[in-house]
Structure 1
């Protein structure tokens, strides 16, 4: 009997010796960090302010979850990050998209690489990713506490006191993966971190124009969009929406120009090249087609890679009769058409969030983070990952990859302590 009591006392003592890790934020970075921590060394808690965890994972990629991107060279991968390129080189050299794929596939989630190199679960369901993360954390006895809004974090001599509406928690290590909500950034600021002000990234352009208004849903395989005043230019697929322009070309432009566009109050002029050809090339194509098809009407002429409906609307916009024979199109009319196709001037007046995948530029200053471990240089035993940092990427799975890689680094560092 005495022996059993002593054994019990020894177990209690060993539990008390285990360090406490509290992860603030139940998103991609928070869960991935917890899923990679050593449960024999740490007692792990995840505090999430909402009723549900992993909400961005659930809605990303239209509910399919764009897990990562098939770019396996860290030097190439960092080029997709308008902010954080330099800092992420070392991070991705330790954990990159290939490692992410291996991690999920080894836990029963089959992944697929699509034609544009985005990576999704074979199931086409974000729940597959959520299940893998939740199963792994459950196996590690991670305690997940929802509706636990953190109101204050205080640093004692060797621990943290975390105050929430659900009660207070003590932690030896705090992992801060809250996302970029202003209230969360104020907590980081209260601990001594410098915050780079937030501005939206990854947004679509609001444009009121009669030509666009007639064609929501029309897409262009490869277009060029530039902002001459700011010397910004991007290319890629383009989409006309009910409110203006979207698609990768616009989203990339919004990401790289996030701060400059905020400075313009989202009112600026853009030039759109719907066919990614110079005016001279467009005119040459027109002349060649005209020589070979002189009797065709201009409205029936398939000269450029645009839809027939858009082409006829462009003719009306350019004040050219669609029934006119192409042989009768004057040089001036040809030049007007080529100009509207290759250098269409449009006035942007505002922005719209891209679907539900809101991304911001700004957050904790990167100079205050040790990117070998993701540890704070300001507060000992504090680690940060995900959108709370002044890091963001274009659409395509890159923002998630930064979360996976940063969270993995934190777990490896703690596991070695």
Structure 2
């Protein structure tokens, strides 16, 4: 008879994955999953607009690691143990088929996140995991015999042989205080994956317009990202902005989210290529009205607005454009300055940069180097990714490895 007791704290993706794996590896052990809320897997249910972007169809571990602004090099060897293909196979064996969308994101074929949540809940129950909701943990107290005593919020206590913490990211350092009390180093949490607010924005009336391939830079810093860009009624969103917010999370937090974003409305456009295009237009179509004939793949309403900002009126033709106007239009096309003042969380899915310092975690087992029997998985670690299913993949990978070693 196995009298071992394993406790998992946190009923999210990493918690369920770790608990299931631990129960499968430790036959006969008591595996208990504690969740402080009344419901479990809440983020799984709301992610991807209720469809659950479960992973990404990137099967090269080296490339995959590059989607993580923090934690990529830590995860890379772990992907050899459990990667997106392993995720696909794991769910497939339980009757959940996944599909790949054109951008590489993967969803259940049902397009319903409940498919994933139900699969995890049912598999946990079948594996013998005890799921206890409305059961928060106040503190962890290491014992002399290497067991861990959990003090629960209701005043009771639970003794465990090993503990897996999967409490997710937290926007405030207060959310990590109970772990810091154990002597663990916490990297200060700051938001990642957010959109840019431009209260004095010049493009608000163009809300809903997108360009397929823009480049966005932060003035005075070496941060830039390419991708689709969406104009919103509050500012800017889309993959280019979200990737930039992830890679620049700490820098942008330090600036209190007040900075200048420089937008190139076509990532491939350079000053020389645009000048050449303008010269061709002037030569081949001198009598064309500039505002009425959008170029460079720019949507017509956006082109018109960029012309207005460059002091090009509705009737001006290419033959009559002055050098000053031409230069200004080029600048607005490839280096359009936008004053950002604040951010907005991307949908309901907050992601934080920060958490348990990775240097204090054994990269082969996910066990704390400081406290024997204490493991970590998921966003409680200082690991985060851009959008596209990568944050969930980190949860499956770290949860699986931790669960295998509990």
Matched, 1:256 2:247: yes
1-structure distance, mates of 2:42, 2:275: 50
State the 1:209 CA deviation.
Answer: 3.9
Larger Rg: 1
Matched, 1:228 2:219: yes
1-structure distance, mates of 2:219, 2:325: 25
What residue is the counterpart of 1:51 in the other structure? 38
Q: Given that residues 211 and 314 in structure 1 are in contact (C-alpha distance below 8 angstroms), is that contact kept between their aligned partners in structure 2?
A: no
Q: Given that residues 192 and 379 in structure 1 are in contact (C-alpha distance below 8 angstroms), is that contact kept between their aligned partners in structure 2?
A: no
State the 1:98 CA deviation.
Answer: 0.6
Deviations 1:155-202 (A, max 9, x none): 222322212234322211100000123454222212221111111111
State the 1:299 CA deviation.
Answer: 2.4
2-structure distance, mates of 1:183, 1:152: 13
Structure 2 segments unaligned to the other structure (5+ residues): none
Among candidates 325, 336, 339, match of residue 331 of structure 2 = 339
What residue is the counterpart of 1:200 in the other structure? 191
- Alpha-carbon spacing, 1:53–1:70, altered in 2? closer, same or farther (3 Å): same
My pick for the range that moved more, 218-227 or 208-217, is 208-217
Q: Given that residues 69 and 397 in structure 1 are in contact (C-alpha distance below 8 angstroms), is that contact kept between their aligned partners in structure 2?
A: yes
Matched, 1:218 2:205: no
What residue is the counterpart of 1:319 in the other structure? 311
Matched, 1:160 2:148: yes
State the 1:362 CA deviation.
Answer: 0.9
What residue is the counterpart of 1:295 in the other structure? 287
State the 1:261 CA deviation.
Answer: 1.2
Structure 1 segments unaligned to the other structure (5+ residues): 1-13
My pick for the range that moved more, 368-377 or 36-45, is 36-45
Deviations 1:65-94 (A, max 9, x none): 111111111111111111112211211111
Q: Given that residues 23 and 31 in structure 2 are in contact (C-alpha distance below 8 angstroms), is that contact kept between their aligned partners in structure 1?
A: no
Q: Given that residues 201 and 338 in structure 2 are in contact (C-alpha distance below 8 angstroms), is that contact kept between their aligned partners in structure 1?
A: no
State the 1:236 CA deviation.
Answer: 0.9
- Alpha-carbon spacing, 1:209–1:283, altered in 2? closer, same or farther (3 Å): farther
What residue is the counterpart of 2:12 in the other structure? 27
What residue is the counterpart of 2:181 in the other structure? 190
State the 1:37 CA deviation.
Answer: 2.3
What residue is the counterpart of 1:177 in the other structure? 166
Instruction: Tell me the SS of whatever aligns to 2:15.
Output: helix
Among candidates 116, 126, 136, match of residue 139 of structure 1 = 126
1-structure distance, mates of 2:255, 2:264: 22
My pick for the range that moved more, 209-218 or 391-400, is 209-218
Q: Given that residues 64 and 120 in structure 1 are in contact (C-alpha distance below 8 angstroms), is that contact kept between their aligned partners in structure 2?
A: yes
Among candidates 124, 128, 131, match of residue 115 of structure 2 = 128
2-structure distance, mates of 1:94, 1:77: 14
Q: Given that residues 271 and 343 in structure 1 are in contact (C-alpha distance below 8 angstroms), is that contact kept between their aligned partners in structure 2?
A: yes
Kindly report the root-mean-square deviation, in angstroms, between the aligned alpha carbons of the 2 structures.
Answer: 1.5
What residue is the counterpart of 1:239 in the other structure? 230
What residue is the counterpart of 1:6 in the other structure? none
Among candidates 256, 259, 263, match of residue 268 of structure 1 = 259
Among candidates 269, 273, 287, match of residue 281 of structure 1 = 273
- Alpha-carbon spacing, 1:210–1:370, altered in 2? closer, same or farther (3 Å): closer
Q: Given that residues 294 and 304 in structure 2 are in contact (C-alpha distance below 8 angstroms), is that contact kept between their aligned partners in structure 1?
A: no
Matched, 1:117 2:104: yes
Matched, 1:72 2:59: yes
1-structure distance, mates of 2:405, 2:228: 41
What residue is the counterpart of 1:8 in the other structure? none
Q: Given that residues 289 and 303 in structure 1 are in contact (C-alpha distance below 8 angstroms), is that contact kept between their aligned partners in structure 2?
A: no
Deviations 1:21-59 (A, max 9, x none): 110000000001112223523211111111111111111
1-structure distance, mates of 2:392, 2:95: 19
What residue is the counterpart of 2:354 in the other structure? 362
State the 1:330 CA deviation.
Answer: 2.7
Q: Given that residues 58 and 126 in structure 1 are in contact (C-alpha distance below 8 angstroms), is that contact kept between their aligned partners in structure 2?
A: yes
Deviations 1:236-272 (A, max 9, x none): 1111112111111111111111111111111112211
- Alpha-carbon spacing, 1:38–1:144, altered in 2? closer, same or farther (3 Å): closer
My pick for the range that moved more, 180-189 or 110-119, is 180-189
What residue is the counterpart of 1:3 in the other structure? none
Report the TM-score when normalising by structure 2: 0.95
Structure with greater proportional helix content: 1
What residue is the counterpart of 1:9 in the other structure? none
Report the TM-score when normalising by structure 1: 0.92
